[in-house]
Amino acid sequence: QIKGFLFDLDGVIANTSTYHGIAWHQLADELGVKWTDDLGNQLKGVGRMDSLNLILKYGHKENAYTEEQKEYYANKKNENYIHLLDSLDKSQILPGMEEFIKNISDHGYLISLASSSKNSPYVLEKLDLAKYFDQRVDPATLTHGKPDPEIYTRAAEVLNLKPEECIGLEDAVAGIKSINGSGAISLGIGDPRILSEADINFEDTSQVTLENIKKALNL
Ligand code: B16
Ligand code: MG
């Protein structure tokens, strides 16, 4: 029986994944690493330093910078990202997501946040959605980021639920792998060819309703 929902934030609740993409693209240009859609997809859902390391690896520059220089570049990306968040408001909540979150909350499902982003509390407040969340995982406390299962295992645990009693929602390949590893049911939002490992898939957020999920899972 499903008792809880575990939410990714960027690309699932709000279109902030676009802003992460813009900020990483800018940094890749500065580092002389060629930006591709494939690189962009690899970075989705992956934490800040892991993302920088992926970019450097992609550009065959994994040993080009000291840890201190990498800190500098990671901070620079974050400052750019936060700047892009200045204009963030409720209009950037993805179609149907506020209604969906409100509906599952009204139906008594427990809700937690499994975002890799250290900016997620700020983003949820800005979107006025923090009130719906019973718990959240602080990504700073994780040993391993997505695709490791730790964040989704913890997201169920903080609700006092087993992963098997939960559905995790993700727009990223790394995130689907993380959900699957935890034992929760994975719901992919986006291109099913990219998110092929998801248990169930919806092309976009407007299709994410309790009714459609129950139908897809034969519940
Ligand atoms: P920050 P999610 C992830 O959030 C983003 O998808 C990813 O692009 C970003 O690098 C990561 O958070 C870390 O974010 O630099 O703000 O701590 O998709 O897990 O909600
Ligand atoms: Mg995401």
Report the pLDDT value the prediction gives residue 149, as an integer from 0 to 100: 98
pLDDT beneath 70: ranges in the chain: none
- Beta-carbon-side half-sphere exposure of residue 122 (alpha carbons within 13 Å): 11
* Catalytic residue list contains 199: no
Pocket flag, ligand 1, residue 153 (CB < 6 Å):
no
Contact 175, 115 (CB under 8 A): no
Distance in angstroms (rounded) separating the CA atoms of residues 130 and 147: 25
What ipTM is given for this predicted complex? 0.90
Report the pLDDT value the prediction gives residue 180, as an integer from 0 to 100: 98
3 state SS of 203:
coil
Report the pLDDT value the prediction gives residue 209, as an integer from 0 to 100: 98
Report the pLDDT value the prediction gives residue 190, as an integer from 0 to 100: 97
Candidate list 8, 86, 148, 204, residue with the active-site label: 8
What pTM, to 2 d.p., does this model score? 0.93
Report the pLDDT value the prediction gives residue 178, as an integer from 0 to 100: 98
Give pLDDT tens digits for 86-97. Answer: 999 999 999 999
